[in-house]
Structure 1
Amino acid sequence: MSTAAPAPLVFITGASSGIGQALAARYAQAGWRLALVARRTAQMQDWATARGLGVDRCAVYGADVADPSSIVAAGQACIADQGLPEVVIANAGISVGMDTAERADLDVMADTFALNNVGMAATFHPFVNAMVGRGSGRLVGIGSVAAIRGLPGHGAYCASKAAVVAYCESLRTELHGSGVRVVTVCPGYVDTPLTQGNRYGMPFLIPADVFADRAFRTIEAGVSYRVIPWQMGVVAKLMRLLPNAVYDKVVQGRGRKRRRDGVDSPR
Structure 2
Amino acid sequence: MTAPARPLAFITGASSGIGQALAARFYAQGHDLALVARNTQAIGDWAAGAGLDAARYAVYAADVSVADSIVEAGMACLARQGLPQVVVANAGVSWGIDSAEREDLDVMAQLFATNNLGMAATFHPFIRAMQARGSGTLVGVASVAAIRGLPGHGAYCASKAAVVSYCESLRGELRARGVRVVTLLPGYVATPLTRDNRYGMPFLLTADDFAERAFRVIMRQSSYAVIPWQMGIVAKLLRLLPNAVFDRLLQGRQTKHRHKTAE
Q: Judge same fold: TM > 0.5, yes or no.
A: yes
Q: Which amino acid in 2 is paired with 1:225? A: Y
Distance apart, 1:28 and its partner CA: 1.1
CA distance in 1, matches of 2:6, 2:245: 52
SS state at 1:65 partner: coil
| Contact 2:147/2:161 (<8 A) preserved | yes
CA distance in 2, matches of 1:132, 1:230: 31
After superposition, give the CA deviation of every residue in 1:139-175 in whole Å (9 maximum; x if it has no partner): 0000000000000000110000000000000000111
Number of residue equivalences = 258
Aligned partner of 2:236 in structure 1 is 237
CA distance in 1, matches of 2:71, 2:144: 27
SS state at 1:160 partner: helix
Counterpart check, 1:159 vs 2:158: yes
Q: Which structure 2 residues correspond to residues 113-124 of structure 1 after superposition, within 5 A? A: 113-124=112-123
CA distance in 1, matches of 2:33, 2:48: 13
CA distance in 1, matches of 2:71, 2:6: 23
CA distance in 1, matches of 2:81, 2:22: 19
SS state at 1:56 partner: helix
Aligned partner of 2:173 in structure 1 is 174
Aligned partner of 1:37 in structure 2 is 36
Aligned partner of 2:85 in structure 1 is 86
Distance apart, 1:48 and its partner CA: 1.0
Q: Which amino acid in 2 is paired with 1:219? A: I
Which consecutive residues of structure 1, in runs of 5 or more, have no partner in the other structure? 263-267
| Contact 2:95/2:260 (<8 A) preserved | no
Distance apart, 1:54 and its partner CA: 3.0
Aligned partner of 1:253 in structure 2 is 252
Q: Which structure 2 residues correspond to residues 175-190 of structure 1 after superposition, within 5 A? A: 175-190=174-189
Distance apart, 1:261 and its partner CA: 8.0
Aligned partner of 1:63 in structure 2 is 62
SS state at 1:94 partner: coil
Q: Percent identity?
A: 69
After superposition, give the CA deviation of every residue in 1:156-202 in whole Å (9 maximum; x if it has no partner): 10000000000000000111211100000000000111111000010
CA distance in 2, matches of 1:84, 1:257: 38
Aligned partner of 2:47 in structure 1 is 48
CA distance in 1, matches of 2:216, 2:110: 31
Aligned partner of 2:146 in structure 1 is 147
SS state at 1:93 partner: coil
SS state at 1:7 partner: coil
Which consecutive residues of structure 2, in runs of 5 or more, have no partner in the other structure? none
Gap change, CA 1:232 and 1:261, over 3 Å in 2: closer
Q: Which amino acid in 2 is paired with 1:52? A: G
SS state at 1:19 partner: helix
Q: TM-score, normalised by structure 1?
A: 0.95
Counterpart check, 1:224 vs 2:223: yes
SS state at 2:115 partner: helix
| Contact 2:88/2:138 (<8 A) preserved | yes
SS state at 2:183 partner: strand
After superposition, give the CA deviation of every residue in 1:94-144 in whole Å (9 maximum; x if it has no partner): 001100000010011000000000000000000000000000000000000
Q: Which amino acid in 1 is paired with 2:240? A: L
CA distance in 1, matches of 2:141, 2:197: 19
Q: Which amino acid in 2 is paired with 1:49? A: A
SS state at 2:158 partner: helix
SS state at 2:160 partner: helix
Q: Which amino acid in 2 is paired with 1:146? A: A
Aligned partner of 2:17 in structure 1 is 18
Q: Which amino acid in 2 is paired with 1:18? A: G
Q: TM-score, normalised by structure 2?
A: 0.96
Distance apart, 1:55 and its partner CA: 3.0
SS state at 1:140 partner: strand
CA distance in 1, matches of 2:202, 2:28: 28
Counterpart check, 1:6 vs 2:9: no
Q: Which amino acid in 2 is paired with 1:234? A: I
CA distance in 2, matches of 1:39, 1:261: 16
CA distance in 2, matches of 1:54, 1:40: 20
SS state at 1:177 partner: helix
